[in-house]
Structure 1
């Protein structure tokens, strides 16, 4: 199965993805309402997997609900919560349910979340998870034994943080993920586009794999300060915070800032990954203001 996301990447189109969080409970109505608004605006919708180690509905279950509603999902998989048996079982199950796009993640530490006494697993981390997905796609399990009931066909991506201080760490992890099977990258939130441009020239240019710049919708100066204080690695500049602080309508200003960042990214990389926590309904407005739209509108295939 060739997904909308995969076709766009292989055709070297400007790729747009967005992100939704699964419900914290049994009712997916809000998540589905937000996802439907994105259906013809993006190539794929990421469904987070215990982001920030906060308990929510399983990404695979939530992604299946999106697929059933005609929205192409990208299910995230974090190594924190599963041993290698569980990882393989979930990957096979996701494939059987018709899911194809996956973002391989190590996972945030348990201490960052809402169940601090939970036990972290970390049998694998993101690079080894990508290697595992490649093996399963080749019809082998973790131990190299043939899968008797058929290989998988997962389109795997990785995460990258271009704003890490160590260039060696960025270059090394990026190269290892490409070698392990990553077909695309979604970045953490980008706030320093000078640094991002340097990353694109110094690191990404060495590999023929698309990078989607992470764009975060800031709702207010208070929201920006909270992110700087509580999200590891976040570095929202004072200038942006002051701009939000002095705006007559901070939310509208945040939309303008996000749209400006999308326009910058269009000149630097092959796509954007939009994050608007609890206001995913505003992502189409950001894209409209940025004069950016998808060029492929084929529907995901249901099986």
Structure 2
């Protein structure tokens, strides 16, 4: 289990992370999303023991990670900016990993290299961007660690390779009860993979929930009445968003769906439809409720006043 309590990290006066607290259980795929500079990479470098926290603590299985070689031998980390030894092939990197990770599995390394279709004797410097990420993922998975950390996991991978990587991560979690943390800018990539999802913004943990609760606690309602109405009609219902076009209103509601539908039905609408939200829509409205706007096109989070300018 990973336990993070009050984690804070600053760089030259800039607060990259502020008072982050969370608990990540064994056998979980924990997704983390956020804009550039939100603190995702800093979080991973603290959890893996690369950085020392300025305050707060990180413990894995009850032990601190920083300056703890035994615990680090149970962790495989694929950073956003990949690093390989100069001129090294995958085989040479595999020998290095084998010397670090006691559980490194040569058979799995051979199987994964063949599955991905990479030449293990070819210099990695000659690989494409996507192939380099594949090589890093192969080495991490071959180490058979208890903890797998991936920063921008799917960057540079084509759709076929993305699906392959997802299936391999899920396989490790299900069969070995490994724990994985995955960061990404793409909610679509995490929606069908992760058990829990966290949203970082400006160094803070804005939202954390398991996927199912996150998607069921918010829903869209389309409603219409014969008579003229406005937002005040829905007093007592927690609305994150209200808009009206013609006689039909769209409501984004947080709460118990059955209770909310019964409450609106008691008003005798002529139209009442409940629609599910995608994960991107859930985060869009959660961020709007906090005064920020999430741009699903990939530009990340910006302050609402900037959007309106």
TM-score, length of structure 2 as denominator length: 0.28
Structure with the largest fraction of strand: 2
TM-score by length of 1: 0.28
Which has more helix, going by share of residues? 1
Larger radius of gyration: 2
